[in-house]
Chains A and B, each alone.
Chain A
Amino acid sequence: MPMPAHEIERLIKEALPDATVELTALANDNDHWSATVISETFRGMSRVRQHQLVNAAFGDRLGTELHALALTTRTP
């Protein structure tokens, strides 16, 4: 069960309200996405911690409903 782009964006923004989210489809199957997330919240955090914050927004839907998300994170 794929996850549509608007749902991915909604979940990320729920966890990080100030975030800018850019999504790119890696394959046109609504199932493999690349996301760039830009948020002030990331400042001073290691990249691992930044990615963990975004991953946590999906809970256990990451790896099941959302099959693959290639992530880039940065501060504004």
Chain B
Amino acid sequence: MSQDIHARIKSEIESNDVVLFMKGTPEAPQCGFSLQVTQILNHLGVPYKAINVLADGAIREGIKSYSNWPTIPQLYVKSEFIGGCDITREMFQSGELTELLDKEGVPHS
């Protein structure tokens, strides 16, 4: 069961450069932390795939065990788990997030 979910998650993060597991959608985030990460990604002008965990209970639980990380949002770049809201914000503010996108060859503005 959880292996199926992990396989689905793996396939999502491998087929998209940037994936955000969030509560709600980029148009209508349902949580302030998810909202903050969408704002950072929009600001950087980086295309990303958003997955609404509130629409899929299996993904909502599965993503936590996949990453060994207890909370949502979760940001992935090139299949690598980057962090939740705090880490993403810290890396954005220090410029590390832009560096990472450049290093990984992910287009942004």
A residues contacting B by CB (< 8 A) are 47-48, 51-52, 55, 62-63, 70-72
Contact = CB atoms under 8 A, between A and B. Distances in A.
Size category of the binding interface on chain B: 10 to 19
A48 B70 contact: no
Interface string B49-66: 000000000000000000
B90 A55 contact: no
Which 5 pairs, one residue from A and one from B, show the smallest C-beta to C-beta distance?
A: A47-B87, A48-B83, A47-B83, A48-B81, A52-B68
17 contacts: A47-B83, A47-B90, A47-B91, A48-B67, A48-B69, A48-B81, A48-B82, A48-B83, A48-B87, A51-B83, A52-B68, A52-B69, A55-B70, A70-B86, A71-B86, A72-B86, A72-B90
Given A47-B91, A62-B70, A63-B70, 18 more contacts: A47-B83, A47-B87, A47-B90, A48-B67, A48-B69, A48-B81, A48-B82, A48-B83, A48-B87, A51-B83, A51-B87, A52-B68, A52-B69, A55-B70, A70-B86, A71-B86, A72-B86, A72-B90
